[in-house]
Amino acid sequence: MSAIESRLRELGITLPTPAVPVANYVPFRRSGNLLIIAGQLCIGPDGTIAEKHKGKLGANVSVEDAREAAKFCAVNLLAQAKAALGDLDRIGACLRLGGFIASTPDFTGHAQVMNGASDLMVGALGEAGKHARTTIGVPVLPGDVVVEVDAMFEVS
């Protein structure tokens, strides 16, 4: 088992089977040392999206639940990275996370929500997990999920 997967296990996380895109695209593309991963939705460990992870901050979804949703997105990014690389230890750095948080126009705590993804990435990868990030509010996401996160990794 890779060092990173051991750390994930200590965090109580087993990587799921990565989601198959529901449309005409692929979950990741590699170019040289760059690995680009498609936007991941907050599919949980049971392979479904919980009702509490659908909707919007400022309306029906709490910050705590949305943080968990963001964490699930990050886990799914790592599951895709493993599918791409075979071994997560080939990740040199998480270069960037893009966080998309569905909210009403008066909610402003998106950074706190996105920390659910950032904390998981740093928890799993350590120094290599420290990433630049861009977090924005959106009115709605595909399938009404509350959080979507995409990523760019440096890999070997």
Chain contacts with its own copies (rule: CB under 8 A): 21-29, 31-34, 36-39, 56, 92-98, 100, 102-112, 114-115, 118-119, 122, 130-144, 148, 150, 152, 154
Three-class secondary structure of residue 135 per DSSP? strand
Report the residue number, 15 or 151, with the smaller CB distance to its own copies.
Answer: 151
CB 137 within 8 A of CB 107: yes
Amino acid identity of residue 14, one-letter, is: T
Minimum Å gap between C-beta 4 and its own copies is 17
* Angle, CA 135 vertex, CA 26 and CA 111 arms, to 5°: 130
Cβ of residue 68: shortest distance to its own copies, in angstroms?
Answer: 16
- Which one, 36 or 44, has the nearer CB to its own copies? 36
Residue type, 111: A
CB of 39 vs its own copies, minimal distance in Å: 4
